[in-house]
Amino acid sequence: MTQASETQGRVRDRIDTGPRFSEADAVRLNRLFRGTDTSEMLETLLKEGMAGDVAQVSSFGAESAVLLHLISRIDPNVPVLFLETGKHFPETLAYRDLLVERLGLTNLVNLTPDPEDLAKKDESGLRWSYDPDGCCEIRKVKPLAKALAGFDATITGRKAFQSSTRKTLPRFEIDTSDEQGRLKINPLIDWSPERIEAYIAEHDLPPHPLVAQGYPSIGCMPCTSKVAPGEDPRSGRWRGWDKTECGIHKPGEDGGDGQGPASELPPGFDPVF
């Protein structure tokens, strides 16, 4: 073998370890799908493989049925990642099972905390009461990070009206939780509460049973409280703590003004939920 052919062989064998997507890719996709209907955008992305291997991350919370329904009509085998923290309301687990059956979802993936982590860092199961960030790290951030290693993009259910930290999020952004360059897709970011309600009614989707009891945003049972009329929908999450997100995203991931990266925070502040 000549030196030239040996060099070519080495080039061909090289593994590309660079980011899957760049900020420029996110900008391009935002421009490409500007004004495009949500269903059409999702169908194009999934059927044409524009985002590579995609998973939906779902909390099976108050409004989760909408995005799950949209995706189920295109491809019910898209992996749906659910963080089974061990701290959910029983109503949430029952609602998860109901939606999976009703929508014909065929690829539910329940992600659980590492037993060794729980034994070392939350043996009592009460870490949420004195260190909610640490609890989320063990039960949400780390299990999800491990699962996402095999995906190029994730679909989230975040909406601008849910909180001030989500008001400026675009449809497409880069996941900054690691260096992998995963694409994060927010199909419902510009949907209003009225549009969500209308879609649920139009398609006769079952509501989460806790919504009628005063829970417009639903997470783990110990860290979720009822919300009074007029309050921010997510104000019932980690009430009393300086915390607005669980750790799967970072608040204002685009910097809060839509112009640049968010400031550095401890690993993973702000969930898909």
d(CA 169, CA 6): 48
Q: Which residues pair with 82 in a beta bridge?
A: 110
Q: Which residue numbers are catalytic?
A: 246
DSSP state of 207: P
pLDDT per position as a tens digit, 122-132 = 999 999 888 98
> Whole-number mean pLDDT of the chain?
82
Amino acid (one-letter) located at 36 = T
pLDDT per position as a tens digit, 18-37 = 568 999 999 999 999 999 99
Q: For each of the domains in the chain, give its residue range(s) and CATH number, in order of start.
A: 19-212 (3.40.50.620)
pLDDT value at 69 more than 70: yes
> For residue 222, what pLDDT is reported?
86
Q: Is 11 exposed, middle or buried (0-12, 13-18, 19+ CB in 10 A)?
A: exposed
> For residue 217, what pLDDT is reported?
84
pLDDT per position as a tens digit, 138-158 = 999 999 999 999 999 999 998
pLDDT value at 2 more than 70: no
Q: Between these two residues, 253 and 202, which has the higher pLDDT value?
A: 202
pLDDT value at 202 more than 90: yes
Helices (H), 90-149: 90-103, 115-121, 132-136, 142-148
Instruction: Give me the sheet containing 80-83, strands edge to edge.
Output: 108-111, 80-83, 54-57, 153-155, 183-185, 172-174
Amino acid (one-letter) located at 156 = T
> For residue 238, what pLDDT is reported?
63
pLDDT value at 255 more than 50: no
Closest CA to 157 of 56, 81, 268, 251: 56
List phi, psi (to 5°) of 48.
Answer: -95, 0
Instruction: Assign 3-state DSSP to the chain and report helix, strand, coil percentages, each to 5.
Output: 40, 10, 55
Name the range with the highest mean pLDDT among 55-64, 97-106, 169-178: 97-106
Question: Is the entire prediction scored with pTM above 0.75?
Answer: yes
Q: How far is CA 60 from the centre of its chain?
A: 11
Instruction: State the residue for tokens 């999800």.
Output: 144
List phi, psi (to 5°) of 115.
Answer: -55, -35
pLDDT per position as a tens digit, 36-46 = 999 999 999 99
230: region left, alpha or beta (phi > 0 left; psi from -120 to 50 alpha): left
d(CA 210, CA 224): 11
> For residue 234, what pLDDT is reported?
66
